[in-house]
Structure 1
């Protein structure tokens, strides 16, 4: 057997706001969508145009409160070829939530409070 990563899922409150954030912050674009026949949920898959791994955003119609992220000890990581330009862009967006200069990484926060790690390409 050979397992490969396919996608990660994040539940979001405002689907359009999240799609726009991921486009603006990370250049992700919509690859495909799936609507529940009864309108109870919508799935939107985002891709980076170069890898097969996708981010699935799930919107649930009946969610009436912000998601409880607990201690938010999970995160997704993205590599970038120009850390200085990326950091400046994310600072302009006011979404940088933590910088670790000694490790050469930083995190941004999406509209639902999920942290996304930005690391340099090796």
Structure 2
């Protein structure tokens, strides 16, 4: 039996804002979309041509209040081939929320407060 990672789901309040964030910050594009017949939810899968793993953005029509992320001790990691350029871009976007220079990594926060770790390709 063989398992492969497929996607991670995060719940978002503003689907368009989240899509724009992941497009701009990480170069992800909409790969697939599922819409409920009654309009109650939309699932948007964001990914790249090079990697089959995706982030699923789940939007629920009736949700108005921000999601409780608890201690927000979870994150999604991105490996990047040009760490300095990525850091500069994310710094210009104003989305860096934590840096650990000793480990050579940093984190950015998306519009809903989820953290994404950025790690250089080593």
TM-score (norm 1): 0.98
CA distance in 1, matches of 2:47, 2:64: 28
Following the alignment from structure 1 to structure 2, what is the Cα–Cα distance between the partners of residues 97 and 64? 24
Is it true that 1:33 corresponds to 2:33 in the alignment?
Answer: yes
Structure 1 stretches of 4+ with a deviation exceeding 3 A read none
Q: Offset at 1:55? A: 0.6
Tell me the residue number matched to 1:113: 113
State the shift of 1:104 in Å.
Answer: 0.2
Cα drift, residue 49 of structure 1: 1.9
Paired with 2:84 and 2:9, the residues of 1 have a C-alpha distance of 28
Q: What does residue range 1-122 of structure 1 map to in structure 2 within 5 Å?
A: 1-122=1-122
**Aligned-residue CA RMSD in angstroms?**
0.5
Gaps of 5+ in 1: none
Query: SS where residue 107 of structure 2 aligns?
Result: strand
Cα shift readout 1:84-109 (whole Å, capped 9, x = no counterpart): 11000000000000000000000000
- The CA deviation at 1:58 is 0.3
Q: What is the Cα deviation at residue 64 of structure 1? A: 1.5
Cα distance in 2 for residues equivalent to 1:2 and 1:81: 28
Q: CA deviation at 1:48?
A: 2.0
CA distance in 1: counterparts of 2:44 and 2:22, whole angstroms: 12
Aligned residue pairs, count: 122
| Alpha-carbon distance in 2 for matches of 1:79, 1:86 | 10
